[in-house]
Amino acid sequence: MCGIIGYIGSDNTVSRLIEGLRALEYRGYDSAGVAWYDGGMRVVKASGKLDNLAAKLGDAQTTGIHAGIGHTRWATHGAPSDTNAHPHGTPALQLVHNGIIENYAALRAELTELGYTFQSDTDTEAAAKLLDYYYTVEKRSPLDAISRTAARLEGSYALGILFADDPLRLYALRSGSPLIVGLGEGENFIASDITALLRHTRDYYQLEEGEIAVVEQENVCIYRDGVPVEKERKTALWDVQAAERGGWPHFMIKEIHEEPTAIKATLHPRVKGGLPDFSGERLDTSVLAKVSRLHIVACGTAMHAGLIARGLFESLAALPVTVEVASEFRYNNPLIDENDLVIIISQSGETADSLAALRLAKEKGAPTLAIVNVIGSSIAREADSVLYTWAGPEIAVASTKAYSVQTALLALLAVETALLRGRLDEARGRALVTALCEDAPLAVEAILDREEEIKALAASIAGCEDLFFIGRGAGYYLAAEGSLKLKEISYIHSEAYAAGELKHGTISLIVDGTPVVALCTVPELYGKMVSNIREVKARGANVIAVVCADADTNGIGVDSVVRLPQLCEELLFLPAVTVLQLLAYYTSVARGCDVDQPRNLAKSVTVE
């Protein structure tokens, strides 16, 4: 959530800031602003989309070397408005901020006593005024003022700072929220993530906790505890084409179509001789052979991927698994110890609740494994082991290919675990690996070839305001993800239920014309699902059934059928979720919604 960009160089600073902010739009925002030095400090802010800010800026130009900072804000403290938009500051400085300053109220009260006044409702302004106090009242150097400010701030934050009387430097501070320093030719940057910089550089430094960066046109110096430190220069594997739409109408549909390739990219390097091979990873697979229980902890779509994984680990490896939302795991005093393995799943590797859950697991002595997409992210760095999903950038707020590669990788890990624990013979293991690496991507491609069929189904539900997903077993876990995907981008109220639970109250909500999507993806439970379908049909539901390739649908009375390609039962979730993603996407398009940037949502939730 929120996005930071900073630039120093001889190009048009305003243009570079707007360009960087546009690349960060996917993170979610409701206002934006920029500050730059051009013979004096200039600040322009606007609520709403970046076009509003660009209109205010007009044809603003800079020549020579100029420093600037920009921000897209996702409101936490104070409603979206021009006043609450970042940057915030004083005549002496301006700063932009990602995260939450938890003690902002106490700081505001203290600073008010010192004579400061506040214009906004934000927590950020307290940090800006506190920095101003150390810089202008106590007359400290920029570096010392920033350090003293950081010592007073509580919470999670990343700051980009511009001082009016130090116009040839940018300053950046990271504590909790991610921040990088981009390394260009004759220019340098700060940014929330590398996607903001790919047009100009793929090289960067990853700021660690508590580090302060001083960024000049030709030089970068990073301090830890006031002492300069050497940093490893990193290079992003993504390129600018991967982070752009490339002719697709939205990032979401582009990323859905990338799923077959992404699944192969994630799996093929981890297979040798037809069997799983994690030998090149930061993972000691012997841990999997001896752990007594798995705890899978994640948020949102990643948590739903964990539910699929639970079924695989329990059925293939006979290994008990719990799956919990990270924000609840932290406060439920989880019963874990050194005999358990805690798996943290996060696309960004920066999800605040998941990162806190990881740290809690480590405090309790449990080994930890991260499954993330972003190399060098906080969760990846802090976990004992890490498996990268190698999916490339995912820009749309609604996660699609991340789910597919997370579940595919977890499936391969489940096969490896089952082999290590003697629960699966080699022949069966090879068959599952072949199905996962070869047959499953083809099955997803087969669904993508039937896009128009699913688009027509989307048109049939686009006018509704309530919808239900039902399923049993893995079908229920798919229902949860399908429901989340639909409601987050189409704004249709949607619920997912275990089909057997309908008669315990929910069926009272089924009235004539209510759409129900029935996930019939577990063959041995198909008869049970047919009974549940008949229950909702008896109340007038309009039923869309997603069924296995050979399912007999004669006489069950469904209104529409999506038949999945032939694939082993354990892996049917991969083509099935693509059906649900396409259904959500085309429903959102039909309703005229902002598919890639749904209201009130952020791509990476870096605050609790």
**Secondary structure (3-state) at 265:** helix
Cis peptide before 87 (omega within 30 of 0): yes
What is the spatial distance between Cα 414 and Cα 420, in angstroms, rounded to a whole number?
Answer: 10
Q: Does an H or E element contain 440, and which?
A: helix 440-448
Contact 86, 96 (CB under 8 A): yes
Contact 211, 219 (CB under 8 A): no
Bridge pairing between strands 493-498 and 466-471: parallel
290 given a catalytic annotation = no
| Residue 95: closest CA among 141, 165, 158, 139 | 158
Phi, psi of 109 (to 5 degrees): -65, -45
What is the spatial distance between Cα 23 and Cα 545, in angstroms, rounded to a whole number?
Answer: 38
What is the spatial distance between Cα 194 and Cα 376, in angstroms, rounded to a whole number?
Answer: 11
603 given a catalytic annotation = yes
What is the spatial distance between Cα 180 and Cα 277, in angstroms, rounded to a whole number?
Answer: 33
Phi, psi of 185 (to 5 degrees): -100, 110
Strand-by-strand arrangement of the 170-175 sheet: 88-90, 93-101, 155-163, 170-175, 212-215, 220-224, 227-229
Contact 35, 162 (CB under 8 A): yes
* Tokens 């906790």 -> residue: 209
What is the spatial distance between Cα 426 and Cα 193, in angstroms, rounded to a whole number?
Answer: 42
* Tokens 């003293």 -> residue: 148
**Secondary structure (3-state) at 317:** helix
Contact 476, 499 (CB under 8 A): yes
Catalytic residue from among 2, 437, 520, 593? 2
| Residue 376: closest CA among 198, 203, 147, 215 | 203
Residues serving a catalytic function are 2, 603
